[in-house]
Amino acid sequence: MNLSKSRYTSGIRCEKLLWLDSYHKELADDMGNNSVLENGNEVGNLARGLFGKYKLIDFSKGFSSMIQDTKKLLDEKENVICEASFYYDGNFCSVDILKNDLDGVEIYEVKSSTDIKDIYIDDISYQVWVLKNCGLNVKKACIIYVNSNYIKNGELDIYSYFNIKDVTNDISDDNVLSYVIKFKNILDNKNEPSNDLSKSCHSPYDCPYFHYCTRNLPSPNVFDVGCSVRFSSKLEKYYNNIVTYQDLLDTGGFNDRACEQMLFELNNLPPKINKDKIISFLEQITYPVYFLDFESYQASIPTIDGTKPYQQICFQYSLHYYLEDGVELFHKEFLSDDYDGNPMYGLCEKLCQDIPKDSCVLVYNDSFEKTRLQEMAYLFPKFRDHLLNIKDNIIDLFPIFKKHDYYVKEMGGSASIKKVLPALFPNEASLDYHNLDQVHKGDEASSAFLSLKNLDDDKREELRCNMLKYCQLDTFAMVKIYDKLKEVVKKK
């Protein structure tokens, strides 16, 4: 079986990952990486213009044609070739950008991330090794990545948008041959490698086979512990054969909240309700009280002046509110129809109409909403004072559950609203995100918004309706949780 640069880097991470990807891809979890792939394609396409005119090798024609087309362009002394393709002794690679000079070639590997990971060096080392064995003089190897500090102002400046790092001296192509031999032996073997769990399960990316590789562990086990326990700490316990919750508790466990999670699940303990803490929290609330949730997307390549790569762009909000305690619940919402411009302007205008100044605003995990409001206040001086006023009056529901002032075993050590809601309201179909159509979580809402402009009127209206229902459930969930807090402190 041939190697490629993606297979090679998979093998560097984990030999079992390489083998499973090649023989049993059906065992992989759905990691929802579509947006990552789309970002990678967009950034890769943009980077091709960094060195002027270029020739692009057609990937759809197949490996043999790509290799032949590359050789032809090299013979013709073409200076810049994108997706230049090479093959040596069962090893294939396509170079994102190849600069072909009279005294040798330069390799440019394009990444859509904003930093350089170690695995990128392995990736480009493999390419250098293949090209050298094809008879080319590789005089320089670089990684092109996104400048996180770039702020768009007018026409996109690709020379400021990208960083280029010369990694020629970091290349370790002398070791590539030994890895190639090792990985080919693995792929020629029909038996699954016996690699144990390691930090590569979640670094530099989450492995889609983690649940498969932990399928024979007792349930629950050390990897089911939440409460902000680091994966490295869990691995350390696992390597010492401390795997079950009882093993963990007997040997000291992790932090207090993690121990509490395990005790609750092992002993089926009743809910923990710290009434004093909850009452203290509720005493901060004034009326009218507004429950706010934003939806946003990230653009790898900024299209809006004043924004950076991967900045969150808000396009939707839901707003439930009580004017007084114990009275009717109201709802307002916004979903932009500005698909090609700046959806944040209309959102800010409507938000400032919907939330009066000095109003109490409840959110769940306030860092997201506060940061978005700060960013939008910077972008739109017209709304700055009002947006910052909303930000300054935010109260966060999240800490009550993160600190276990209210905890039930069904939360499983998580304070995420997607875990807290069903834990507090089991079997309530109206609160089940799975019962929604089309949009069930935030990344689906992001993808949905970006797809709206390409739909016909009927499909667009249907999707917008389902997006509104999803976001509405996010704030209705907060209302239900808030009402629950008031209820539990009244009980004797």
Would 101 be classed as within a structural domain? yes
For residue 104, give its domain range: 5-187
3-state secondary structure of 312: strand
Q: Is the peptide bond before 220 cis (omega within 30 degrees of 0)?
A: yes
C-alpha angle with apex 334: 329 to 336, nearest 5 degrees?
A: 170
Contact by Cβ (8 Å): 191, 346: no
CATH number at residue 479: 3.30.420
Residues 383 and 414 in one domain: yes
Q: What is the mean pLDDT of residues 256-276?
A: 96
Phi-psi region of 412 (alpha: psi -120 to 50; beta: other; left: phi over 0): left
Is 144 among the domain residues? yes
Give me the amino acid identity at 176: V
Residue (of 30, 42, 138) closest to 84 by Cα position: 138
- 341 with 488, same domain: the answer is yes
Same domain, 360 and 434: yes
Strands 289-298 and 104-110: unpaired
Question: Residue 387's pLDDT is what?
Answer: 98
Q: Model confidence over 121-138: pLDDT tens digits?
A: 999 999 999 999 999 999
pLDDT band at 33 (very low <50, low <70, confident <90, very high): low
Q: What is the pLDDT of residue 356?
A: 98
- How many domains does the chain divide into? 3
Distance separating alpha carbons of residues 482 and 417, to the nearest angstrom? 12
Whether 380 and 282 share a structural domain: yes
241 and 327 together in one domain: no
Length of the chain: 492
Both 150 and 234 in one domain: the answer is: no
Cβ 272 vs Cβ 404: under 8 Å: yes
Residue type, 377: A
**Does residue 75 come out as left (phi exceeding 0), alpha (psi in the -120 to 50 range) or beta?**
alpha
Q: How far, in Å, CA of 140 to CA of 51, rounded? A: 15
* Residue-wise pLDDT tens digits, 155-175: 999 999 999 999 999 998 789
Last residue of one domain, picked from the residues 187, 209, 240: 187
Say if residue 40 is in the same domain as residue 149. Answer: yes
The chain-wide mean pLDDT, for the chain, equals: 96
242 and 94 in a common domain: no
Q: 371 and 354: one domain? A: yes
Residue 199 domain-assigned?
no
Whether residue 207 is contained in a domain is answered as no
Q: Is residue 23 part of a domain?
A: yes
| Residue 24 shares a structural domain with residue 157 | yes
Count of C-beta atoms within a 10 Å radius of residue 176: 21
Residue 196 is assigned to a structural domain of this protein = no
Query: pTM to 2 decimals?
Result: 0.93
Any domain includes 194: no
Determine which helix (DSSP H) or strand (DSSP E) holds 180, and give its type and residue range. helix 176-188
| Contact of 172 with 165, CB cutoff 8 Å | no
Residue 211 lies inside a defined structural domain of this protein? no
Statement: residue 36 has pLDDT above 80: no
Same domain, 170 and 99: yes
